Amino acid sequence: MTDVFDRWKFDGVFHFAALSLVGESMQQPLRYIRENVSNTMLLAELAVNAGCLRFVLSSTAALFGYPDSIPIREDAPLRPVSAYGESKLMAERGLEWADRVHGLKSACLRYFNAAGADHLGRIGEAHNPETHLIPLAIKAALGTGPGLKIFGTDYDTPDGTCIRDYIHVTDLADAHLRSWTVSMPVAACVTTSVLAMAILCGR
Ligand SMILES: NC(=O)c1ccc[n+]([C@@H]2O[C@H](COP(=O)([O-])OP(=O)(O)OC[C@H]3O[C@@H](n4cnc5c(N)ncnc54)[C@H](O)[C@@H]3O)[C@@H](O)[C@H]2O)c1
C-alpha cells in the first residue's frame, strides 16, 4: 500500500476490506481485532501521510449489540457483543483520533445486512464461505445447496424467528457516495424475519 500511495494521489479512501464473520470472530477474537483494527489504522496512517484526508469505513450495526429500542437511533449506546463488532468500534475510535490530531475526516457507515444484486446483473452476492441468508435460501430453493437451517424459533417476534434489517447494495453504494459529500445519516432498510425472508426466496 505504501507503493500505491507513493505512485498515485488520492482524494480519499473507501475501506471495505475486513474479516467479517461474526461467528468466526468469537473463535479467533485476537486475529479479528489485530486485522481489522491494525489494517484500518495502517491505511489511515498512509492516507494522512499522503495528505489524503477523507476516509469512509465499512462499519457495522454490530456495534450496537442488543439495542434497548428498535429502530436503533444513531446515538444509541455502542455495546458490541462480538469480537467482530468490537474490532469495528476500535477502528472507528482510532479514526476519531486521526481526525482530532491530523484532520482526517471520516464517515463510518454502520451497515445492517447488505443484500441484493446490481439491477443490470453485473454484480451479485458471492461470498466464500457463503454465510448470508438470501443466497443460502436461493441455493436451497434451486437445489444447488443444502436445505436451509433456521437458527432460533423462539424469539419474541410474530413468527418466532430473528428479525433483521436488509439494505440493498445499490442503496448502500449510493450512501457511500453521499457520505463523501454530506455528513448525514442514511437509512434505507427493509426489516423482515428470517422465516419470511426464506419464504420470499422460495424456501
Ligand atoms: N455484508 C454485510 O452485510 C456487511 C454488514 C456490515 C458491515 N460489513 C462490512 O462491509 C465490508 C465488506 O463486507 P462484505 O460482505 O463484502 O465482506 P467480504 O468478507 O465478502 O469481503 C471482505 C473482503 O476483504 C478482503 N480482505 C480481508 N482482509 C484483507 C487484507 N488484509 N487485505 C486485503 N483484502 C482483505 C477479503 O479477502 C474479502 O474479499 C466489510 O468491512 C464488512 O465488515 C458488511
Give the DSSP letter string of the chain. Answer: -HHHHHH---S-EEE------HHHHHHSHHHHHIIIIIHHHHHHHHHHHTT--EEEEEEEGGGG-S-SSSSPPTTS-----SHHHHHHHHHHHHHHHHHHHH--EEEEEEE-EEE---TTSS-----SS---HHHHHHHHHHTSSPPPPP--S-SSSTTSSPEEEEEEHHHHHHHHHHHHH-------EEEEEHHHHHHHTT-
Exposed, middle or buried: residue 72 (CB in 10 Å: 0-12, 13-18, 19+)? middle
**Domain identity same for 90 and 142:** no
**Domain identity same for 6 and 29:** yes
Q: Which residues are catalytic?
A: 84
**Domain identity same for 15 and 90:** yes
> Residue 131 belongs to what domain range?
113-203
CB neighbours of residue 52 within 10 Å: 18
Atom of ligand 1 nearest to the CA of 21: 19
**Domain identity same for 57 and 101:** yes
Residue where a domain stops, chosen among 64, 86, 111: 111
Rounded-to-10 torsion of CA 31, 33, 36, 38? -100
pLDDT, mean of residues 47-53:
96
Judge contact between 126 and 118, C-beta under 8 A. Answer: no
Pick from 16, 20, 55, 176 the residue to mutate for probing ligand 1's pocket: most ligand atoms within 8 Å of its CB: 20
Q: What is the CATH number of the domain that holds 66?
A: 3.40.50.720
Atom of ligand 1 nearest to the CA of 113: 3
Q: What distance in angstroms lies between residue 22's CA and the mean position of ligand 1's atoms?
A: 12
Atom of ligand 1 nearest to the CA of 114: 3
**Domain identity same for 171 and 189:** yes
**Binding site membership of 20 for ligand 1 (Cβ less than 6 Å):** yes
pLDDT higher than threshold 60 for residue 97: yes
**Domain identity same for 57 and 67:** yes
pLDDT band at 43 (very low <50, low <70, confident <90, very high): very high
**Binding site membership of 114 for ligand 1 (Cβ less than 6 Å):** yes
**Binding site membership of 14 for ligand 1 (Cβ less than 6 Å):** no
pLDDT, mean of residues 134-145:
92
**Domain identity same for 173 and 128:** yes
pLDDT higher than threshold 90 for residue 199: no
Number of domains forming the structure of the chain: 2
Residue where a domain stops, chosen among 44, 77, 111: 111
pLDDT, mean of residues 23-45:
98
**Domain identity same for 93 and 17:** yes
